[in-house]
Amino acid sequence: MSLFLNPKTFLNKTSLTGKYKDYFVSVHNYMNMHCLDTLSTRILLLITMGLHFTLYLLFFF
């Protein structure tokens, strides 16, 4: 899967930025947002959060 960056990227004062869903973001944030957009990542995140919440309930209540 290839990531698409807007061809009109430019060098900002802080970092290289691109457009993602009509927002200008840094390349690092773009990669993170693209990762969160995938269904499998959301499912894994839900499982991880569920396990953490379950362990929290078991040990602190």
- Residue 27 placed within a domain: yes
Does some domain include residue 21? yes
pLDDT recorded at residue 11: 44
Would you state the pLDDT for residue 19? 58
- Give the residue from 35, 14, 36 showing the smallest Cα distance to 25: 14
Report the number of distinct structural domains present in the chain: 1
> What is the Rg, in whole angstroms, of the alpha carbon atoms belonging to the chain?
17
Given this model, what pLDDT does residue 16 score?
57
What's the mean pLDDT in 21-36?
63
Evaluate whether residue 1 is within a structural domain: no
Instruction: Flag whether 35 is in a domain.
Output: yes
Higher pLDDT, 7 or 34: 34
The pair of structure tokens assigned to 8 is 């009109």
- Predicted pLDDT at 5: 53
Is the residue at 4 inside a domain?
A: no
Report if residue 5 sits inside a domain: no
pLDDT value for 9: 47
Asked, for residue 3, whether it belongs to a domain, the answer is no
Residue 14 or residue 23, greater confidence: 23
| Structural domain boundaries enclosing 19 | 10-60
**Interatomic CA distance for residues 9 and 25, integer angstroms:** 10
Residue 19 forms beta bridges with which residues? 24
